[in-house]
Amino acid sequence: MTALLASVRSEQEALAAARAGAELIDLKEPRAGALGGLPLADINKIAAALRAQYAVKPISATIGDVDSDDIDEIVARVIDVGAAGVDYVKVGITPGPNAMRCLDALASLPAAVVPVMLCDAGVDAELVAHAASLGFVGVMFDTIGKDGKTLFDHVDENTLGSWLRLARKHGAMCGIAGSLGWSQLAQIRTLAPDVAGFRGALCVDGRSSALDPARVAHLANALHRPADTPADHARSEPAQAASRA
């Protein structure tokens, strides 16, 4: 079964998403970029509120959009976010000459880091293999751009499938995100990642607008069904209009 990761920006959204059936609550600020980070005080506050009502529901948080060349800044942010009461710390990995070194640094930290391989320009298979080999608790594949293109516009399904299998082979949780919506539901089901991440598809009017608990519940239920049904199509058009995740 694929779990639904709901990206939220506030305590109100976090609790609403949890009540609606999101299995993993992801803290980020969508107005600040693909992996825009929330202030540490907000992360602490939201995590505490979630723990009070959903003691075992996993929580992740992003560190913000930082280029993989700036390793010192990334390490400092990971340490701070990891101490803010979350289970997982998500870090975007941009391809480049220092990406391998960045992964090595992240693997040495005392935090449950989930490297997020940003695939807009493609991802070096060697970089993915290196990430999978380092013993991270999870590996995700996402996009930086929120321009209407999805993860599947940048990486074909077969390639993604091979990367997910590689991550699993090394014991990592594997996940996908990147402007995913109802149009990608069949592909998500075929790949069957451990986690599928959404923002825009869960919102009233695009990723910067308010989260809609009804959309969270409907998409969570759809992810758990093994095959396409008329109920999926009944919701697909309004949800798809907001699928800038």
Q: For residue 209, count CB atoms less than 10 angstroms from its CB and return exposed for 0-12, middle for 13-18, buried for 19 or more.
A: middle
Question: So which residues are the catalytic ones?
Answer: 28, 90
Which amino acid, 18? A
Rounded to 5 degrees, what angle do the CA atoms 112, 116, 118 make? 165
Residue 233: per-residue pLDDT: 46
Euclidean distance between CA atoms 191 and 101, whole angstroms:
29
Predicted local confidence at residue 142, as pLDDT: 97
**Count of residues making up the chain:** 245
**Burial 108-141, CB ≥16 within 10 A → b, else e:** eeebbbbbbbbbbeebeeebbebbbebebebbbb
Residues of the chain with pLDDT under 50: 230-245
Tell me, what's the pLDDT at 228?
Answer: 53
Where exactly are the structural domains of the chain?
A: 3-240
pLDDT at 227: 53
Model's pTM, two decimal places? 0.92
pLDDT at 87: 98
Coil, helix or strand at residue 114: strand
For the domain 3-240, what is the CATH code? 3.20.20.380
